[in-house]
Amino acid sequence: MIGIWNHEEPTYAEMVMNLQKQAYLEEAEWIGRDDLPPLFEKEVDIRKSDLIHLAETEQGELIGMLVFAMDGRTMDIHKLMVHPRYSRNKTASRLLEIAERWWIPLEITVSTAAGNKPALFFYNKHGFRKEREEEVEEGIVLAHFKKHTEREE
């Protein structure tokens, strides 16, 4: 089931933390870094967030989440996380497609580690185009993507 998640509720925030840890530990392995900022985020940070949390659950378990902000008609994706056990079941695709349908953005932006090959493939597959790469600190290069949804105003 997919829906907006009440991340301010402590039990739900704890579930988000667990998902985030699992997803970002896997990404850390892919890119060879164990110091990714989401791995050090605290539960209180999640509860205080003003971002939209769109979640997919299966039998009460949080299996994926899209965390984003809307600025006018621009959607800025902050996190797209899928529990490693569900990484091949199209959870990320469903979350992105529903967010596009419900919020109707004209453009979507996202940044990911340039070494995160699964994420690069995913965003290219879903119509995103790489705008640029940026080294944010030694050894960490971000790839910045943008997608124009071609919707009429």
Query: For residue 53, what pLDDT is reported?
Result: 97
Contacts of 125 (CB under 8 A, 6+ apart): none
Residue 124 has pLDDT above 60, yes or no: yes
Model confidence over 90-120: pLDDT tens digits? 999 999 999 999 999 999 999 999 999 999 9
pLDDT class of 36 with cuts at 50, 70, 90:
confident
Domain count, the chain: 1
Banded pLDDT at 151 (limits 50, 70, 90): low
Residue 143 placed within a domain: yes
Position 48 in a domain: yes
Distances (CA, A) of 117 to 9, 33, 48, 81, 146: 33, 14, 31, 15, 17
The model carries a pTM of: 0.93
Does the pLDDT of residue 152 top 60, yes or no?
no
Q: What gap in Å lies between CA 25 and CA 34, rounded to an integer?
A: 7
Residue 123 placed within a domain: yes
Cβ neighbours of residue 83 closer than 8 Å, sequence gap 6 or more: 19, 22, 23, 61, 62, 63, 64
Residue 47: CATH number of its domain: 3.40.630.30
CA dist 110 and 88 (Å) reads: 21
Asked, for residue 77, whether it belongs to a domain, the answer is yes
Determine the structural domain holding residue 117 and report its residue range.
2-148
Confirm whether 70 is domain-assigned: yes
CA nearest neighbour of 29 among 143, 118, 125: 118
**Any domain includes 153:** no
pLDDT above 80: residue 150: no
pLDDT tens digits, one per residue of 40-88: 999 999 999 999 999 999 999 999 999 999 999 999 999 999 999 999 8
